[in-house]
A = this chain, B = another copy of it.
Amino acid sequence: MTDIVKPSTLPGFMELLPREQILFNEMLDTIKRNYEKYGFLPLDTPVIEKSEVLLAKGGGETEKQIYRFQKGDTDMSLRFDLTVPLARYTVEHFSDLSFPFKRYQIGKVYRGEKAQKGRFREFYQCDIDTIGNEKLSILNDAEFPVVIYHTFKDLGFDKFVIKINNRKILNGFYRALEIEDTVSVLRTVDKLDKIGVAKVKEELLEIGVSSENADKILDFITIDGTNAEVIAKLESFEIENETFKEGVAELKTVIECIGGYGVPESNYKVDLKIARGLDYYTGTVYETELVDYPEIGSVCSGGRYENLASYYTDRKLPGVGLSIGLSRLFYQLNQAKIIGAKKESLTDVMVIPMDDYEMDSIKLAAKLQEAGIATTVYTEKAKLGKKFKYADSLNIPYTIVVGENEVKTGEYAIKDMVKQEQESLTVEQIIARLK
């Protein structure tokens, strides 16, 4: 007799029941389909990498959270994002790639975070990035909101806003105000939506910004209006700072091109408040908000970076990218019951054999399958009620019972499990009905 081990997963590791998994996979497929449609190439890198490669950048929170271990003489780690593997991949396979290199990657990443509701230690990231060789046109920055717009529409959302800003505008503006510590200002201003204007001003004063400048900053970042109006206001600012001007010109191009791609004005918006972290992004930045669920926070973020892979190469590889954190998004949407699968079952029909009509059931199933209808045969001995209950528990929309009468007449009673209605049809009629 073996000892029984209690089967359970580790805390912080998401695992779904089949009906939830169907929904999750539907979202994953929608994202993948859109990424591919806009010319992003698929990539799949190992989950395990050499620690020295993965941690080349080193330091910070990440290093503490990483799953790192030794096997034989090898020091290895699980990837904690898809960006570092992209950097490694791009440099390692540089001569085999064509630039701009547009790739997507959907995969699991690992972070040993403190376990808490809605935070996962294993989670899916869905990344798209475009990498240039030495340089990369600003036109690329316009493509990402377009892809995300179509992705979220296909995911079933209408009311979402892709917020767009440009870090050069912020940096240039702060420098024009002769503020030295722009990083601290950015960090403080980033809290505006959370803590409000008064608190932000207070904190700005604390870090040594003058009251006059604090007011100017707050006036500036809360500029509102249509995209064209905000751009026009920015252009009218008499700020003699090249970085600022460059940022405004870039933002203008990005906003105009997104319009050119046909994205409705209501789904993308210049928002001078967003800054996205502190050192990685250098130009365009994006955040995406579900209008009716602002509490979820940004569901898709990213931006432009100067250099993807300085830890692996002297070559300059500028890039721009976006990421959807699908596990967290799914968890929140599912908890809030915001989403439902288009189809709750991947199977269209269950054929239920009466005793001794197993072979006839199989032959009927084969005909339906041949016609492209996802069909399964109930295989076990059981009372009819139990068989129907099984089909119901799997949300299978149609059942067909096969017995003496059906085989004789060639007409099969097909039951709509939702409407609880039944109809006698030939195989051809069933196929026509279900296709």
Contacts and interface: CB of A to CB of B under 8 A. Distances in A.
Contacts of A150: 369
B359 A41 contact: no
A25 B105 CA distance: 12
Interface string A2-25: 101111111001111110011011
A167 to B, nearest CB: 20
A46 B122 contact: yes
A98 B390 contact: yes
Contacts of A87: 7
A79 B143 CA distance: 38
A41 B345 CA distance: 9
A260 B362 contact: yes
B44 A21 contact: yes
Nearest to A369: B37
B41 A346 contact: yes
Given A36-B346, A363-B260, A47 B108 contact: yes
Contact of A5 (B103, B142, B312): B312
Nearest to A19: B41
Contacts of A359: 256-257, 260
A193 interface: no
A74 B112 CA distance: 11
A235 to B, nearest CB: 18
A181 interface: no
B376 A10 contact: no
A142 B45 CA distance: 37
A243 interface: no
A76 B88 CA distance: 27
A296 interface: no
A294 interface: no
A6 B381 contact: no
A52 B5 CA distance: 7
Nearest to A102: B376
Contact of A260 (B38, B39, B43, B366): B366
A84 to B, nearest CB: 10
B38 A374 contact: yes
Contact of A96 (B17, B132, B390): B17
Given A7-B91, A18-B103, A262-B363, 12 more contacts: A9-B49, A9-B88, A10-B74, A21-B42, A37-B346, A38-B375, A38-B376, A39-B376, A47-B47, A67-B69, A260-B359, A261-B369
